[in-house]
A and B are shown apart, each in its own frame.
Chain A
Amino acid sequence: MKNKTAAKITNVQELEARLKQMRAAQEIYAGYSQEQVDQIFRAAAMAACKARIPLARMAVEETGMGVVEDKVIKNHYASEYIYNQYRDTPTCGVIEEDKAGGMRKVAEPIGLIAAVIPTTNPTSTAIFKALLCLKTRNGIMISPHPRAKNCTIEAARIVYNAAVEAGAPENIIGWIDEPSLELTNTVMKECDCILATGGPSMVRAAYSSGKPALGVGAGNTPAIIDSTADIRLAVNSVIHSKTFDNGMICASEQSVIVLSDVYDEVKAEFAARGCYFLKGKEVKKVGGAVIINGSVNAKIVGQSAYKIAQIAGVDVPEKTKILIGEVESTDISEPFAHEKLSPVLAMYRAKDFEDALQKAEALVMEGGPGHTASLFVNTAEKEKMDAHAERMRACRIVINMPSSQGAIGDLYNFRLAPSLTLGCGSWGGNSISHNVGVMDLLNVKTVAERRENMLWMRLPEKIYFKRGCMPVALDELGTVMHKKKCFIVTDSFLYQNGYVRPIEEKLDEMGIRHTCFYDVAPDPTLQCAQEGTRQMTDFGPDVIIALGGGSAMDAAKIMWVMYENPDVNFEDMAMDFMDIRKRIYTFPEMGKKAYFVAIPTSSGTGSEVTPFAIITDKETGTKWPLADYELMPDMAVVDADNMMNQPKSLTSASGIDVMTHAIESYVSIMASDMTEGISLQATKLVFDYLPSAYINGANDPQAREHMALASTLAGEAFANAFLGVNHSMAHKLGAYHHIPHGVANALLLTYVMRYNANPAPAKMGTFPQYAYPHTLERYCDIARYNGLVGKDDQKTFDLLIKKLEELKKTIGIPASIREWGVSEEDFLATLDEMTENAFNDQCTGANPRYPLMSEIRELYLMAYYGRDTKEAAAL
């Protein structure tokens, strides 16, 4: 095969020149297809695999460490297992696609990788890293250790030649011929990412180079042999692992911690298999020879047990597999407690499993934080395995396997990825805690297309409407649902004026037992709801009927929540959300105990079809606005017969509230085809029937009925499309200055509309369906639906504003907040607080303009003084 090697690199200039060539090569390689890359990856793996024996021999000869036959396995593993693991892994271009979700992941190479190679596993690590880089279209500059430079370079050369032969650009792999710290540091500074395998100093240097680094740390694996373990399997696994390449794998067992009751058996098995237990002074001699000033003696690294014994001046049989020192201390003052990089093992006696865990914990943290911990146990002992996994600060926990071969993956467990670079997490000062693989060497771009947010339409299971529908609806409770006990919630006015009687009569007729709670006051309190819940709990209903305006329905919803789920926390339930379907709090499931029927007696809130309720804690003054589809009534009964005798003020205030619901839900950023038609029809019904309902009351039952439906329709729309800043401001204006909710809405309505209609708002609302500011056009839809057509949009909009002003006047809404009777002094004193609270209101999020607080403040002032609404258009 043609040798592709270029000029040697022995100094910084030569290195810089080569890095430049390599960058150019990598840029070309970055354009290769997956198919081309896979061919190169295969050819390179094949070549490395073929050269496994000469490379192993070279490594042992050059470094004077390890065992040829074991290094053959490492080279074989680094080529075959890595190829097998990643042969079908997509690493070029689109690697993942979700067409429906509009998301693609695109893999790009990182660029030039600096690879620092250790002396302990030189050829296998070089093969491993070079193959990973070829598969990911990266260039790789290899920095060998001076003690292993020839074999490392030879391994790199073999992979490189095969890659180029298979079509890779020349210079895609490079290496330093005469390693020095200066060159290593230069490579680390100039590359795009560092793959650092080696000792802590080198890994620290990599992390402090300023370039992203995948550095990995030292290990000090303790193996616990539990009383329930298969002793023969355990001991022979440890021997197999500890003797592998003379103990140079970083995950190799450094100590065994044996439970007292099997200690002798374990010891006998070790001895029978050719391990030597150091006696008396021999322990100290070997300890002193292996560890010098807390570091491992370079002369014993990767040597055989016999040779180490000789160095220590201890006589052992030549074929001794492992030297074992029985010691007690896990402190670093004990040489055997260290990583020994050789077939020398510490053995501890543990009095119980807890003692074993403590010893293992100490050993991991002293010498190999984050690396590997091993346990031999009967796998039926789930508790012990769980305790071990929980307590060890190790990123690989291996059970019943030789830890050297186990931790590198794919040999004794096939879900642990094969790798020769093992991350130790933050415990080991590393950026990664897994076995390094191809995904670590890619930049993955996520291509995300704009998608619309999912929406749904939520309504009560049944909405009965038309005059006289109430008895029919109630009939279903008995004849179809076979309900037994009914709890009625209403206010004292309705109760005393006989509104409850028809319901009770119908229930009696069907044999449904019933009771009535009629203490609900306007702005219902938590205390009232708690009392109702107490009575409800005593009574144990399977159906709840809420009869009344917003207050009674809200109070009944709250009682329902507390009756079904006595342990709920209002603070959690009232937590504001950006998207009701992504909220942190999961609302408790409702309906397990009782079916909820809402019967409105005024046409305004729409609460019979909305998932909202508001309750005030009398003691703290806190208002808890609750919103969740679990609060949606099961059945709504909209029977205008219940609404005929509403007082005028209520007709006016609740009627204009309906209009505000309809308009705000129509321009909301969450409005959709499902809600828009409903909103429009509601505006029309209000324009057409509110004046007569206000003026004629019960004398125009048709107007009453249309207003009842308008209220429910608007409720359906805003239950799904939500409201806007008009409501946010009205909530606070009403609360601070005791203005009925509907009136507060009306006082602000035309200002907010002018404000929202601005085609170039300071900020628009955030929602994928909301493409650009278009609120003026939306208002014009409403105008045209109501027969108002100007010569352009602005004129059409003006006509709508004018018609609204006329409607307000007709139904007796004052011209300004001041006119309503709020003193200037009081208003200004509360203005800033009101502004901030209105901004923070749950309704603000759906407004088509994302309001600035200064804008809200200005709107309040305009509405207070009754200034020309056109001023709001300039905001």
Chain B
Amino acid sequence: MANRQIIEETSNKTVYKEGDRIVKEFKPSHPKSNVFNEAYIHACVEEAGVSVPHIISVAPSADGGWALAMEYVEGTTLQQMMDDAPDKKEEYIEKLVDIQTEVCTHKVPKLRNTRYKMEDVISGMTEIDATARYELLQRIHGMKRHTRLCHGDFVPSNVVIRGDGSYCILDWAHATSGNAGADAAITYMRFSLQDPELAELYLKTYCRKADMALQYVQSWLPIVAAAQLTKHVPGEKDLLEQWVSVAEYQ
């Protein structure tokens, strides 16, 4: 217990480093199935050969909750690198996109499909009215059925670059099997909420490198924005609502 080094504390979990492992200790209120599900997704991705921290254990914690232990990865996140060298933004965005497109080449059919996950989120949300939900569900329904590995929160802070230049991707709780366009839309949205200029740079770079039509990524934005609304992050509401409130061409 003595050498626990707390990294992050949120309303439902504490993340700490203990020796050569990272432990995510969830509060007893956090559903057991969520913890096992996260471990399951993580293990699936690990088995698919993506560079991720190895899962070590899922075990009961002292206070009656569950804790997920995984290998500690030595290195620097892309976020830190960008913060340390703002003039090298373009280089790091290129790197981020390269890694994201590489991850997307994997297929992990055991994971839930992006479309179904989004359908569930949208169907259950109360933040928007029934008409808006109808339109979003119709939009999802019209999306193509793809089966690419999508991280679900592919942001620079989840990408660790090791000393030898190799990478390792963290936080697989939201991963799905589905449309790479949706994954890019989430990353773009996360950038936009922080730094719109960087968001534009990312989107341009992504579409160029992934050879994907801008419209295709954009067509996912109302959906991912609606899903993000359910998280109630202060300060995000206005932009997200604006993004959700679009009509389809007729």
Contacts and interface: CB of A to CB of B under 8 A. Distances in A.
A293 B142 contact: no
Contact of A297 (B131, B142, B214, B247): B247
A295 B246 contact: yes
A294 B218 contact: yes
A333 B138 contact: no
Nearest to B137: A181
Residue in B137, B140, B142, B143 with the greatest tally of chain A CB atoms within 10 Å: B142
Nearest to B215: A294
Contacts of A119: 247
A301 interface: yes
Interface stretch (A196-204, A266-274, A276-284, A402-410): A196-204
Nearest to A118: B250
B120 to A, nearest CB: 13
- Between A185, A198, A293, A332, the greatest number of chain B beta carbons within 10 A of the residue's beta carbon is seen for A293
B134 A200 contact: no
B212 interface: no
Interface in A167-216: 179-181, 184-185, 197-205
A292 B242 contact: yes
A200 B218 contact: no
Contacts of A250: 249-250
Given A145-B134, A181-B134, A298 B214 contact: no
A221 to B, nearest CB: 12
A555 interface: no
A279 to B, nearest CB: 25
A205 B134 CA distance: 13
B40 interface: no
A181 B249 CA distance: 18
Contact of B215 (A146, A332, A341): A332
A734 to B, nearest CB: 63
B57 interface: no
Contact of B134 (A180, A197, A220): A180
B137 to A, nearest CB: 4
A147 B131 CA distance: 6
B139 interface: yes
B248 interface: yes
Contacts of A293: 218, 221-222, 243, 246
A218 B142 CA distance: 14
B250 A120 contact: yes
A299 interface: yes
A146 B131 CA distance: 6
B141 A201 contact: yes
Interface in A578-618: none
A829 B139 CA distance: 69
A148 to B, nearest CB: 9
A743 to B, nearest CB: 70
A294 B214 contact: yes
B21 to A, nearest CB: 41
A298 B246 contact: yes
Please report whether the interface of chain A is mostly helix, strand, loop or mixed according to DSSP. Answer: loop
A297 B246 contact: yes
B245 A201 contact: no
A798 interface: no
B231 to A, nearest CB: 19
Given A292-B243, A295-B218, A295-B222, A218 B137 contact: no
A367 interface: yes
B205 to A, nearest CB: 15
B218 to A, nearest CB: 4
Given A294-B214, A297-B246, A146 B139 contact: no
Contacts of A301: 247
A296 interface: yes
Given A120-B250, A293-B246, A181 B215 contact: no
B59 interface: no
A181 B138 contact: yes
Contacts of A202: 138, 142, 248
Interface in B104-120: none
A782 B16 CA distance: 108
A535 to B, nearest CB: 67
B227 to A, nearest CB: 15
Contacts of B243: 292-293
A301 B245 CA distance: 11
A203 B243 CA distance: 22
Interface string B191-206: 0000000000000000
A287 to B, nearest CB: 14
A339 interface: yes
B130 interface: yes
B248 A198 contact: yes
A180 B243 CA distance: 22
Nearest to A180: B134
Contacts of A367: 249
Contacts of B248: 198-202, 218, 295
Contacts of B247: 119, 199, 295-298, 301, 341
Contacts of A179: 134
A252 B215 CA distance: 22
A250 B242 CA distance: 24
Contacts of B141: 181, 185, 201, 204-205
Nearest to A202: B138
B249 A292 contact: no
B169 to A, nearest CB: 26
B245 to A, nearest CB: 5
A218 B130 contact: no
Nearest to A116: B138
Contacts of B140: 201
Interface in B213-231: 214-215, 218-219, 221-222
Contacts of B214: 294, 332-333
A333 B246 CA distance: 17
A298 B245 contact: yes
6 contacts: A146-B130, A181-B141, A218-B249, A294-B218, A296-B247, A296-B249
Interface of A: 118-120, 145-147, 179-181, 184-185, 197-205, 218-220, 248, 250, 292-299, 301, 332-333, 338-339, 341, 367-368
Given A218-B248, A219-B249, A296-B247, 9 more contacts: A146-B130, A146-B134, A199-B248, A200-B249, A202-B248, A220-B249, A293-B243, A297-B245, A332-B214
Closest 6 pairs between A and B when the two form their complex, measured CB to CB: A199-B248, A201-B142, A218-B249, A295-B246, A294-B218, A204-B142
